[in-house]
Amino acid sequence: MSPTLPTPFFARDVLVVARDLLGCRVTHGGVTVRLTEVEAYGGATDPGSHAFRGRSPRTEVMFGKPGRLYVYFTYGMHFCANVVTGHEGMASAVLLRAGEVVAGHDLAAERRPGVRPRDQARGPARLATTLGLGRPHNGLSLVGARAAGRVERPETPVDPATVRTGPRVGVSGAGGDGDAFPWRFWLDGEPTVSAYRAAVTRNRRPA
């Protein structure tokens, strides 16, 4: 087993942590996923972040200690998981977008029945489901002796030449500007990386 990543790893700039998380292995609920795709969110300086407008009951965890999970509900049906980074009060976090199941295959198949192995954690909602993460795990620590989950360094160092960057998936408004926020990181050639989709502008119906 590789060393579990300590708090100082997460207490750094969100872009640095995001890139360094590629290839790392996240374990929770009896399943381990090797990360192949992540997205960085910068809090108050990032229009695409949930915390852009400040603290709220939903985002309070993001302002807390680094190395904790920020788990949120989206589209009325899915949970997504982020790891809080930086220092307390900064509210930056890395979205765990996609990965490869490398341990706990039977449990992963139970949680994602009838799904091809490459698709079990391909996308943030699928990844959270495969790891058994939901609302009760918001604020869960991934560091320390009593942590219920953990993040470990890659078994094999990631070749920097395989790291790609680009605009975040489905982020609208100023935060969706790929030139200003090329904050999605992924490993080139990995079949588990999710497909890129630009944000869809939804027109409001007349009252």
142-175 b/e (C-beta count within 10 Å ≥ 16 → b) = bbeeebebbbbbeeeebeeeeebeebbbebeeeb
Specify the pLDDT at position 197.
79
d(CA 32, CA 102): 6
Specify the pLDDT at position 1.
53
DSSP category for residue 104: -
Specify the pLDDT at position 86.
96
Specify the pLDDT at position 135.
93
Domains of the chain, CATH where assigned: 7-187 (3.10.300.10)
Specify the pLDDT at position 127.
98
d(CA 38, CA 121): 12
Specify the pLDDT at position 200.
61
What is the block-wise mean pLDDT of the chain (207 residues), using blocks of 10 residues? 86 97 97 98 91 90 96 86 95 97 97 95 97 96 90 94 94 86 96 84 47
Q: Please state the pTM of the whole predicted model.
A: 0.92
- Give the dihedral sign, CA 184/8/137/149: positive
Specify the pLDDT at position 207.
38
Specify the pLDDT at position 172.
79
Specify the pLDDT at position 53.
87
Specify the pLDDT at position 43.
87
